[in-house]
Structure 1
Amino acid sequence: MNAETAEMVKSGFLAAVPFARTLGLSFEELDFGRAVMTLPDTPEHHNHIGGAHAGAMFTLAESASGAIIIGTFGDTMDRALPLPTRSEIHFLKMATGDMTAEAVLGRPRSEIIAELDGGRRPEFPIDVEIRMADGTVTGRMTIVWTLKPNRK
């Protein structure tokens, strides 16, 4: 993805997702099939024990997956609606400080597009790792997305 396209996707994502802006999420990296986003550490994001709230961590991870959808499948939005279908998150350690989520597409784009072109509704995972600034992994999430074909 060239820099101009990446900037368009980033700004479009943040414009379209008010909750991401509310939490102060920002992009570190964005490319086809991969996104890295950060959540700043603020008292408003803390839970009852002083770590990052599970909802804030979930939103960070889900947002990174959504950025992949826009960046990787934006050219299909005229014929298919992207929707998350299910997710599973594992909280591994108490998260403190700024958080980073790295999301990676779990199947090749070409396979997913072939299913869509064949009239099917593809489902595919996006795997996300959530880390603290020192690299400690505090959570892992898998979000399954679908591209629901528009019916004429």
Structure 2
Amino acid sequence: MTGAATPDYEQIRKTVDTLVPFVNLVGVRMTELGPGSAVAEIPETPAMSNHLGTVHAGALFLAAEVACAGAFSGVIAPRILHVRTFVLRGTRATFFRPARGRVRASGTVSSPILADVVGRGTEEQFDLTGKALLHDDSGALLAKVDLEYFCWLGAA
């Protein structure tokens, strides 16, 4: 990304995808990342299951959080090297049906000031929200997760 006018979203995806040790341990992968959206996948493995043979709620939540964190990385790409803190403050998950097989979480983030923050080079602290929708391979909506984050950017 050194001085590039257009962020290299694929490079950011590769870096962010392997950044968190716990995500690597579990095996959730970020498969897509763009300017404000991302997709994370839960692999179809027995390790992701609960005692009933469906995907564990913890795995579903992790995929939602990875997708929204990825979406943030896409939005903040021009200033990604200035991120000092990006922390989850709160969340609400609604599960609609049991999940089986591969699950895809599509995440987005928003904030009324986010676009302005990216364009400025000043130190900033702000809140933003994320929303993830989780679907199975048939396209059925499995869950919706709302996330609240705090971000602190250093001056450019």
Query: Do both proteins adopt the same fold according to a TM-score greater than 0.5, normalized to the shorter chain?
Result: yes
Shift of the 106–137 alpha-carbon distance from structure 1 to 2, 3 Å rule, reads: same
Q: How do 1:14-93 residues align onto structure 2 when only pairs under 5 Å count?
A: 14-74=17-77, 75-78=79-82, 80-93=84-97
Q: Quote the residue 1:146 is aligned against.
A: 150
**Deviation of the 1:102 alpha carbon:** 0.3
Secondary structure at the counterpart of residue 7 of structure 1: helix
Identity percentage of aligned residues: 21
How many equivalent residue pairs? 149
**Whole-angstrom CA distance in 1 between matches of 2:94 and 2:9:** 29
**Match runs of 1:70-149 below 5 Å:** 70-74=73-77, 75-78=79-82, 80-107=84-111, 109-113=114-118, 117=122, 121-149=125-153
| SS of residue paired to 1:122 | strand
Asked if structure 2 preserves the Cα contact closer than 8 Å seen for 1:116 and 1:122, the reply is: no
Relative to its length, the structure with more helix (as a share) is 1
Take 2:89 and 2:31, find their aligned partners in 1: how far apart are those partners? 26
Structure 2 gaps of 5+ residues are none
TM-score normalized by the length of structure 1? 0.84
User: By how many angstroms is 1:130 displaced?
Assistant: 0.6
Secondary structure (helix, strand or coil) at the match of 1:47 reads coil
Q: CA RMSD in A?
A: 2.7
TM-score, structure 2 as length reference: 0.82
Return closer, same or farther for 1:115/1:55 CA change in 2, 3 Å cut-off: farther
Q: Name stretches of at least 5 consecutive residues in structure 1 with no aligned partner.
A: none
